[in-house]
A = this chain, B = another copy of it.
Amino acid sequence: MSSRVIVIGGGAAGASAAARARRMDPEAEVTLIERTGMITHAPCGIPFAISGLVQSYRMLRTYSPERFASERRIRVLTNATVTSIDVDGKRVEVSLGDGRTEKLSWDSLVIATGAKPLIPRGLEGVEEARPVLLRHPEDVVEAQRRLSGASKVAVLGGGYIGVEAAEALIDLGKKVTLYEMMDRLLPTAIDGDVSRVLEESVRRAGVDLRLGQPVRALRRRSDGIAVITDAGEEVFDEVVMGLGVRANADLAVSAGVKLGATGAVETDEFMRTNLEGVFAAGDLVEKHHLLLGKRVWIPLAPAANKEGQVAGANAVVPGSLKMRGIVGTAVTKFRNTYVARTGLSETEARANGFNVESTLIKARTKAGYYPGGVEVTVKMVAQSGSGRLLGVQVVGDDPVVAGYADVAATAITAGFTIEDLFFTDIGYMPATAPVWHPLIVAARTLSGGRF
């Protein structure tokens, strides 16, 4: 009998898992079950659909369910919710969109239920105030409807979601106030000295930044929604939630899947959970951090896709593919200011017991004489003594800075020292980089005159 693979969740990880299982085993019966009407959807594109830069939320998917199903010979159930997982009987119960219920049997199960918006325990009144949530592309329609009549909008949270939401709202001509509990933007991703550069760009665009101001409560008022902080309250037409996400693990837990210390699902490198035949992949699961040597929870799409691929491969050919660790590479932007980071920030490195040295330099993206170059800020962190490269943060008004982080991510994965990086044969032409590439300059500066 052919192998039966059921994948729960049609996002990046789930769709990758289903596609990979199909590719590795042309005989397998593969079923993909998705709660919403979309699969292969890209939540990272939501802010750009809100602003109208991307014309419709429907564009935020790679495949229609029908095309994915027919091209890959995968049974795709949309608007279908898995109500229970019977691990001993190897069956799931699915509530279909039309009200019917179906029981499906599996030999391998991949759980890829992703993440859901985080609502901190200390924040009161969310249920009553109903702020705008941006998690699924289908949320875009409701968000646009509500925002269309709003002129004064608050964004809660200064992480990736908050910053990108603020960009979208500014592009829509709103008056935007952003609240962040910590004293800087992207507080878990970058150091304060790098945040300052981003904050300047955000403020210049007109965003009213309220840093170091935790929001205590939201309240519905006759004239809008009040945002309440220790400093008082202020009423907005709408409030957009950008407080981050948490693993959407309830279904997995109900089946007996074990969570790790981070609250996300723990898997091995084959993406196997503690349950026989049950895999998990994507924003739901912990990732192995190559520098920290421990499991962390950093839910981003590239790892989710690869985990899906690994889970799908092993679901049909056990042990065929191993997931590797991450180094925490991430990119965001606010208008034309791009921020990319990889490895550990100085804050993170110190918090994890590393003795570090760091430098922050300014350099240009092109040869000094070549028109169109911009100044970029590069922060580099290395381990004291060994000189091991631990992290790079870069911010500047040119998308090329994302590539700098990719180079650094590769170097960190390879265990490079800053001297190794300095001598790496990075390319040059006047129109694409200075002859001393900003990363090379940062490594040289960090060496303190050693090279």
Q: Contact residues of A with B, CB < 8 Å?
A: 12, 23-24, 42, 44-45, 48, 53-54, 59-60, 62, 300-303, 305-306, 309, 313, 321, 323-333, 338, 340, 342, 367-371, 399-400, 402-407, 409-411, 413-416, 420-433, 435-437, 440, 449, 451
Residues of B within 8 A of A329 (CB): 425-427
Residues of B within 8 A of A306 (CB): 422-423
User: In the complex, what distance in Å separates the CA atom of A323 from the CA atom of B429?
Assistant: 21
Q: If the complex has contacts A59-B369, A323-B423, A413-B424, are A332 and B407 also in contact, measured as CB distance less than 8 A?
A: no
Residues of B within 8 A of A309 (CB): 451
Q: How many copies does the complex hold?
A: 2
- The reply to whether B435 and A406 form a contact with Cβ atoms under 8 Å apart is no
User: In the complex, what distance in Å separates the CA atom of A146 from the CA atom of B338?
Assistant: 44
Residues of B within 8 A of A369 (CB): 42, 45, 48, 54, 59-60
- The reply to whether A409 and B427 form a contact with Cβ atoms under 8 Å apart is yes
Point out the residue from B44, B324, B406, B427 that lies within 8 Å of A302, measured CB to CB: B427
Chain B CB within 10 Å, residue with most, of A48, A60, A402 = A402
Q: If the complex has contacts A370-B45, A432-B331, are A302 and B403 also in contact, measured as CB distance less than 8 A?
A: no
- The reply to whether B427 and A321 form a contact with Cβ atoms under 8 Å apart is no
Point out the residue from B59, B303, B340, B451 that lies within 8 Å of A321, measured CB to CB: B451
Chain B nearest CB from A37 CB (Å) reads 17
Residues of B within 8 A of A449 (CB): 23-24
- The reply to whether A342 and B301 form a contact with Cβ atoms under 8 Å apart is no
Chain B CB within 10 Å, residue with most, of A326, A368, A421, A427 = A427
- The reply to whether A42 and B435 form a contact with Cβ atoms under 8 Å apart is yes
- The reply to whether A425 and B409 form a contact with Cβ atoms under 8 Å apart is yes
- The reply to whether B53 and A371 form a contact with Cβ atoms under 8 Å apart is yes
Chain B nearest CB from A309 CB (Å) reads 7
Residues of B within 8 A of A342 (CB): 425, 427
Residues of B within 8 A of A48 (CB): 369-370, 430-431
- The reply to whether A302 and B437 form a contact with Cβ atoms under 8 Å apart is yes
Extra 6 A-B pairs, beta carbons < 8 Å, given A44-B367, A338-B431, A410-B426: A24-B449, A42-B367, A328-B425, A399-B400, A399-B431, A402-B433
Point out the residue from B406, B425, B437, B451 that lies within 8 Å of A427, measured CB to CB: B406
Closest 7 CB pairs of A and B: A403-B403, A414-B414, A324-B423, A402-B432, A59-B369, A329-B427, A331-B429
Residues of B within 8 A of A45 (CB): 367, 369-370, 430
- The reply to whether A428 and B23 form a contact with Cβ atoms under 8 Å apart is no
Nearest to A62 among chain B residues (CB) is B368
Q: If the complex has contacts A402-B433, A411-B414, A432-B402, are A427 and B324 also in contact, measured as CB distance less than 8 A?
A: no
- The reply to whether B302 and A432 form a contact with Cβ atoms under 8 Å apart is no
Point out the residue from B302, B407, B416 that lies within 8 Å of A428, measured CB to CB: B302
Nearest to A343 among chain B residues (CB) is B425
